[in-house]
Structure 1
């Protein structure tokens, strides 16, 4: 099965690229991927599989490939939403949807997964078990699509789940992995500080929320520097301080928004507790009303150590010239809603190098000039294909 699958994937590399370019030209934002979802569903028409559409809180699609022999049930996930970014990449298949761009590689994820799934469908007689292809919507915008798909129960029978992500930090042929906690969890907060407005000439008759907010911005950084164990990972970022007004007017209220990153649940609990404590103190100290909104977006991503070891061994022993380097990646402070699958199902999320040829430093994900070396699509398909053969394949 392994040899047949790899040959089939190699023969369909150009088709992967064509699909990727079509999706790249026609990006859709999270929770608005109606046409993309229809394109994916149409791809499976007439094929011997079960297709469930509108899974979860949006346009999620689950495609079930049942092998001819009993065995494990595994899931393979590819996301398909784009970002609200105006594309600046110099490519002939530029986005036709103004202000929307596939700047994170989800078009590539979907392209390789469609061809890999089609090849696996044709090899059903050699599959011992069941493969569920998870075409996931809305990875980019909380609450995301993964959490709702998990909660729907359609994946309750999975023994393992796998996903990949294209990263331009490394050249094509590189597969990156990390065991245990690998990507950060993320929370969002908004603080509304209500003071008393007035004239700048008479501050004694007002209660300035900007002054209170400025103290909050400084104090909240002490959570990381003075409350968090130095050996733990945590970040608090103030991304928005909406206090714009008139130069001689003391504002009535302001809004502050921020982003929190952490590598485990205990760290999040500590940061949230200290954040709330500081907010309470600001209210008391400055006599202002503070309204805090705190939302846990995505949990930290935890790769099962045993399955990670098995995946790494499988890829290193593949003896495939397409996969030139299997290396351990450092922890990454970005977030991924694939973490919701891994909270319930053991599995691995690994990384595929896609650095464009001839560039010294590639534009990273979410940049308006983000681009990939499309040879990475075949690396993605073959890497996941080897893992599939390890779990449900028959020689």
Structure 2
């Protein structure tokens, strides 16, 4: 696949595009430097140092150490206007990289397997361009956020005041997306990504000999019934027009073939788009677990954690992102509206505070093997997308 961003004669070769195109080699260098030194959530010291070094070099005012490793930079345009925030997450994942490339992770067991190195690079490229071209209205705040993969850096950054002084009027952000090919953008009004909630259930029965079950309360039997019954929440309690998922991802019990386990440990996740379901799944899961345990004479412990709310895009901001994207990407697919995913993102906390839009920027190139899914040990993306991301952000800012 050949990127139309770089080669198509029909592309608008405006001054903005020409200058961003000239940055492409530098963008690739930055991304690869970041990729080589991945760090887990709230430990992004080297990443923060890299960002800070660039901001200092370019004379961009910024604050560091927000929510431990977060950074906020501010660039004021030469014309009055509103305050826009651009958010980029910085953290990596606890994955051993299997790519054999010159920029392979140098940190054992840690890898940028979700594209956050690209997000930081795109935000830095946008900040550099705007620092050199200030003929735009308003002010842009760049929020470099730690710990998106967990336990979540958006909420503590908001609590630290990153949306104030000056007060942010709207916010945008992007996620490089290997579920879409290079040269496409996924943007939609309303729910883009799902709420993320987790649960742990410990079922407490009564252990005993496998040949004398009448003396026991079999936690495995109880747990199996719980797993099956939890599937009825989506099948029979949720409006079929809505989308939701209840997944039990772990079930641990017992360690011998002739011993009835005294306890069983279940772990799972819940996903949904409609914010009106907040609180509902916790209530329903507990009702099911309690009822089944009572029927068998078992007891239980439930730990339920709502992590991230759904990512809900504002209609006006999403329309503007879509309009800008249509001027940047040129492919037979172009802008894709049907791009929802049950994956979660703590960009949702920012979108609860101010209107905004989070969107996907297609980054896969199957012809050169750059199409492994996110969180895969061989994840990588077509770096042509870096310039595309910068241009979308810059054009959005300059529209005012």
Deviation at 1:276, TM superposition (A): 1.3
Larger mean CA deviation between 212-221 and 164-173 belongs to 164-173
Q: Residue 53 in 1 paired to residue 64 in 2?
A: yes
Deviation at 1:322, TM superposition (A): 9.1
Q: Which residue of 2 aligns with 1:111?
A: 121
User: How far apart, in 1, do the equivalents of 2:79 and 2:362 lie?
Assistant: 34
Deviation at 1:323, TM superposition (A): 11
Maintained 8 Å contact 1:356/1:371: no
Maintained 8 Å contact 1:53/1:62: yes
Q: Residue 296 in 1 paired to residue 306 in 2?
A: yes
User: How far apart, in 2, do the equivalents of 1:294 and 1:92 lie?
Assistant: 43
Q: Residue 17 in 1 paired to residue 28 in 2?
A: yes
User: How far apart, in 1, do the equivalents of 2:21 and 2:216 lie?
Assistant: 71
Q: Residue 328 in 1 paired to residue 344 in 2?
A: no
Q: Residue 32 in 1 paired to residue 40 in 2?
A: no
Q: SS in structure 2 opposite 1:282?
A: helix
Q: Which residue of 1 aligns with 2:238?
A: 228
Q: Which residue of 1 aligns with 2:211?
A: 201
Point out where structure 2 has 5 or more consecutive residues left out of the alignment. Answer: 1-12
TM-score (norm 1): 0.93
Q: Residue 257 in 1 paired to residue 245 in 2?
A: no
Q: Residue 155 in 1 paired to residue 172 in 2?
A: no
Q: SS in structure 2 opposite 1:221?
A: helix
Q: SS in structure 1 opposite 2:222?
A: helix
Deviation at 1:178, TM superposition (A): 1.1
Q: Which residue of 2 aligns with 1:350?
A: 359
User: How far apart, in 2, do the equivalents of 1:330 and 1:65 lie?
Assistant: 32
Larger mean CA deviation between 211-220 and 163-172 belongs to 163-172
Q: Which residue of 1 aligns with 2:349?
A: 340
Deviation at 1:33, TM superposition (A): 1.2
- Within 5 Å, which residues of 2 pair with 1:167-206? 167-206=177-216
Q: SS in structure 2 opposite 1:204?
A: helix
Deviation at 1:46, TM superposition (A): 4.1
User: How far apart, in 2, do the equivalents of 1:289 and 1:53 lie?
Assistant: 48
Point out where structure 1 has 5 or more consecutive residues left out of the alignment. Answer: none
TM-score (norm 2): 0.92
Write out per-residue CA displacement over residues 133-188 of structure 1, whole angstroms, 9 at most, x where no aligned residue. 0111111013x011111222220311110000111223222122111111111100
User: How far apart, in 2, do the equivalents of 1:372 and 1:330 lie?
Assistant: 18
Q: Residue 382 in 1 paired to residue 391 in 2?
A: yes
Q: How many residues align structurally?
A: 386
Q: Which residue of 1 aligns with 2:285?
A: 275
Over the aligned positions, Cα root-mean-square deviation in angstroms equals: 2.0
Q: SS in structure 2 opposite 1:191?
A: strand
Q: SS in structure 2 opposite 1:44?
A: helix
Maintained 8 Å contact 2:184/2:329: no
User: How far apart, in 2, do the equivalents of 1:82 and 1:323 lie?
Assistant: 32
